[in-house]
Amino acid sequence: MPVLRHSTVSRRRLLTCSTALATAAVIRAGDPLGTRRSAAAAANDTGLGIGVIGCRYQGSVIAGLAKAHGRLLAMADVDAAVRDLSAIDGAVEKQTGKSPAEIYDGVERHEDYRRLLDDQRIGVILIGAPDHWHAGMLIDAIHAGKDVYVEKPLTLTVDEGKEIRKAIAATGRVVQVGSWQRSDHRFRTAVEMVRDGRIGRLRRLEVALGSNEVGGPFATAPVPQGLNWERWLGQAPLVPYTPERCHYTFRWWLDYAGGKMTDHGAHHLDIAQWAIGSDPLRVIPAAHMPTVENGYSVPTKFRVVFRYPDNIEMHVTDVGRNGILFEGTEGRIFVNRGSLTGVPVDRLAETPLPRESFALYDFDNLERPERAGKIEAIVNHMGNFFDCVVARKQPISDAESQHRSATTCHLGSLACRLGRPLTWDPQSEQFVSDDEANGLLSRPQRAGYEVKA
C-alpha cells in the first residue's frame, strides 16, 4: 500500500489507489521507468478511460506514460499527419520507449477534441495542445466531468487563470499541470532546503531560461492537406498559414505563447516562486522587442527583475547557465535538470533533510522512488495525478498554484512588451493605477473560441 504522507484519506481508498492504479513508480525488470500498464490496470479492462488532445510531441509523451494507470481510448488532433502518426516527433519513442504505433494501438482518432469529451467511457483527459488552447480545452473538459492533466503553461493570459479557478470551484474536478519539476527530486529538495532555512533568509534568485529564437519575415504558404488551420488557430487572429507559426515554433509568437518567459519559465519560475512563497509586487524589464513583419514576436533579449515582499529579488534572464541560483544570508544553492550543488547541499550528508520531513506538499506517495530528469520526474508527476484522481486530492502542481506561477510569467512578458516597470497587486490580481497594463490581462478572442468558465 502506498505510504501517503500526512494524508487523511481512508484505508479503503488507499487500497483502491494501490490496487486499481498500481503506479508507474514500481520499477520492473525490462521496464525501468515503470511506464507499462500495471498488472492491475491490464487485468481491469473496465478501468479508467483516458483521452489525449494534441499529440505531435508532448501529448504523446504523457499519453505513453499515462497508460500505466488506465486504458488510452481516444486521441484528438487537428492535423491528419499526427492522427496517422507520421508527424509525431521521433523524440517520443526515445523518451518513452514506446513507438507511436504502440502508444496508439487500438485507440480511436478524432479531429475534434469534443468527441473525447462526449465519450462517457473517458474519465481523464490529457492536454498537450499549443499554449493558446490550454485554458479553453481544460474548461471544456472539466465541465464535461473529466479530470485533467494539462501541459504547462496553464494559460495564455492572466484572466484565463481566473476563469479556470471559477470552473474548478464549480465542478470539483482534479487538475494537474505538467510543471513536472515539482516532482523532480533535485528541484523539490532545493525548494524544501530554502523553505527549511538551510541557506538562511532568502535574499536573491538568478534564473536563466535560455534565449528565444529570432526569425522572419516568413512567407505564407498553402495550408497542408489534412491540417485544419482555422481550428488550430482557435482564439487567435485568423491569419494566412505560415509554417513557422505551427507545431513547435508556435512558442516564438505572442499570438500563441510567450517565448522562454512562459515556456521554460513555467518550470523554473514556478520552482523559484514555490521557494519564495509569495507573489511579486514589482516587475522591472530590460528587453528588446522585434518589429519584423510576420516574424517571431517574443523578445530577442531580456532581463527582468521581480521584487517580492521581504526585499527578495528574482532576476530572470536569457543568458547564463540554465537553472536557478538561490542566494541566502547563510549560503547559496544552484539547481537545474542535471545538478543540485552548493555548500548547504554538501551539508546534507551530516544534517539530512529526508523526504518524510518535506513540508510543502502533504499527499506525497513515499513508495515512489526519488526520481530526477524529465521522463523520470513525469513518471512520478503522472502517478501523483492519478493518486489524486482516486483520492480526490489536490495534485502537487494544482491549478491555483500554477495560475499564480503562470501569472508571474505573464507579468514578465507584459513588462517586456510595454517596456516599463509595472506594479502588481496579487490580492486584486490587477496592476496598480495602470489602465494600459490592465487592458493586457486578457486578449480579444475570435467568436466561437471564447475562454469562459
Predicted confidence at residue 121, as pLDDT, reads 97
Predicted confidence at residue 92, as pLDDT, reads 97
Split into its structural domains, the chain has a count of 2
Residues 218 and 268 occupy one common structural domain: yes
Pick the closest to residue 217 from 294, 288, 297 (CA basis).
294
Domain assignment present for residue 373? The answer is yes
Predicted confidence at residue 3, as pLDDT, reads 55
| DSSP letter, residue 137 | H
What DSSP element (H or E) covers 100?
Answer: helix 100-103
CA distance 155 to 135: 6
Residue 13 grid cell? 481508498
Asked whether the whole model's pTM tops 0.85, one would answer yes
DSSP alpha helix (H) spans, 213-347: 229-233, 265-276, 343-346
Partnered with residue 202 across adjacent β-strands are: 328
3-state SS, residue 280: coil
Largest CA distance in the chain: 64
Residues 394 and 413 occupy one common structural domain: no
CA distance 74 to 53: 9
β-bridge pairing 147-150 and 122-127: parallel
CATH of the domain at 255: 3.30.360.10
3-state SS, residue 382: helix
Residues 301 and 428 occupy one common structural domain: yes
| DSSP letter, residue 227 | B
CA distance 66 to 116: 16
Residues 317 and 374 occupy one common structural domain: no
Residues 144 and 205 occupy one common structural domain: no
Pick out the chain residues at pLDDT < 70: 1-47
How many angstroms separate the first and last alpha carbons of the chain? 38
Contacts of 218 (CB under 8 A, 6+ apart): 242, 243, 244, 245, 294, 295
Sign of the C-alpha dihedral computed for residues 150, 391, 379 and 374 taken in this order: positive
Q: 180 with 308: CB under 8 angstroms?
A: no
Tens-digit pLDDT profile for residues 80-109 = 999 999 999 999 999 999 999 999 999 999
Residues 35 and 161 occupy one common structural domain: yes
C-alpha count within 13 angstroms, C-beta hemisphere, residue 245: 24
Predicted confidence at residue 40, as pLDDT, reads 35
Pick the closest to residue 362 from 400, 335, 388 (CA basis).
388
Partnered with residue 314 across adjacent β-strands are: 205, 306
| DSSP letter, residue 311 | G
Residues 132 and 172 occupy one common structural domain: yes
Residues 394 and 406 occupy one common structural domain: no
CA distance 441 to 453: 16
Domain assignment present for residue 122? The answer is yes
CA distance 228 to 330: 56
Domain assignment present for residue 5? The answer is no
Q: 58 with 151: CB under 8 angstroms?
A: yes
Domain assignment present for residue 453? The answer is no
Residues 24 and 169 occupy one common structural domain: yes
CATH of the domain at 171: 3.40.50.720
CA distance 67 to 63: 6
Domain assignment present for residue 3? The answer is no
Domain assignment present for residue 133? The answer is yes
Count of CB atoms within 10 A of residue 111's CB?
Answer: 16
Residues 409 and 276 occupy one common structural domain: yes
Q: 353 with 196: CB under 8 angstroms?
A: yes
Helices and strands per DSSP (H, E), number in the chain: 16, 15
Count of CB atoms within 10 A of residue 132's CB?
Answer: 25
Residue 217: is the preceding peptide bond cis (ω within 30°)?
A: yes
Q: Which domain holds residue 146?
A: 11-183+360-398
Domain assignment present for residue 85? The answer is yes
Residue 224 grid cell? 497542408
C-alpha distances in angstroms, 429 versus 161, 362, 404, 438, 441?
A: 11, 27, 10, 9, 9
Q: 453 with 164: CB under 8 angstroms?
A: yes
Residues 221 and 175 occupy one common structural domain: no
Domain assignment present for residue 291? The answer is yes
Helix axes 399-418 and 158-171, enclosed angle (nearest 10):
170
Q: 299 with 416: CB under 8 angstroms?
A: yes
Q: 421 with 130: CB under 8 angstroms?
A: no
Residues 65 and 207 occupy one common structural domain: no
